[in-house]
Amino acid sequence: MASIQIKATDGSGSFAAYVVEPAGKPAGSVVLIQEVFGVNQAMRDIAAWVADLGFIAICPDLFWRIEPGVDITDKSEAEWKKAFELFGKFDQAKGIEDLKATLAVARTLPGANGKVATMGYCPGGRLAFMMAEQSDADVNISYYGVGLDGLVGDLGKVTKPLLVHIADKDEFFPAEGRAKTVAAAKGHPQIACYNYDADHAFARVGGTHWHGLSATIANGRSAAALAAALG
């Protein structure tokens, strides 16, 4: 476990990224994209899991422009209020810039094999979807991304594998939007959409909507995609 600093490409400063290394190298890298709760214990646990799979995990602090070091949970009303306030202030375009900067660093970390993935959750799932359209990542994985139907106009730009894990009981992503996303992706050779009989954030270990079966199936699909793309 370590924390590194990454320079923002717009010259506005630098931001922290949490890194967990696997036992063996060289290895592919996975850029983990946070939920609205910051780089918290849930994200650190995912990073440990990714490292256990044999990949370098790197999770950047995307809220650094608003408040560096956010680390909260989904356990209280006050934390939820803060999370939504942060998300409301978050500049997604700047977030994509920071993720691209992280991607470049991830390819060149000591022991990295040059291949890199993104894997995001909630708003991070939306950003992973956007990275599939806007970056050169070798594979992108989106967990219960929000508002994905507003991004389907650029699906023609997707040239690398994109996995989309969709919660069929998602309170933050209406059924109409979910259906539109699946329909738009149908037939695309690089995109696979998977639906789960679960609520939003079903793969957040210890979270209020944790659903073990859905999480296990989704995580298995993600692990297989990472292995195929990153070696």
Residue 197's CATH number: 3.40.50.1820
Q: Where are the alpha helices (DSSP H) in 142-211?
A: 175-185
User: Given this model, what pLDDT does residue 206 score?
Assistant: 87
pLDDT, mean of residues 115-131: 98
Torsion from C-alpha of 25, 9, 18, 66, nearest 10 degrees: -170
**Which pLDDT band, with edges at 50, 70 and 90, does 49 fall under?**
very high
Amino acid at residue number 211 = H
Does residue 140 contact residue 118 with C-beta atoms inside 8 Å?
Answer: yes
pTM of the predicted model as reported, rounded to 2 decimal places: 0.97
Q: In this structure, are strands 2-7 and 191-196 parallel, antiparallel, or unpaired?
A: unpaired
Give the torsion sign (CA, 60, 144, 182, 161). positive
**Mean of all residue pLDDT scores within the chain:** 97
Catalytic residues: 170, 200
Q: Which helix (H) or strand (E) holds 97?
A: helix 92-107
Check residue 40 and give its pLDDT: 96
Domain that includes residue 87, residue range = 2-230
pLDDT of residue 161: 98
CB 121 within 8 A of CB 36: no
The confidence score (pLDDT) of residue 187 equals: 96
What total number of domains does the chain contain?
A: 1
Instruction: Compute the distance between CA of residue 16 and CA of residue 126 in angstroms, rounded to an integer.
Output: 21
pLDDT of residue 1 exceeding 80: no
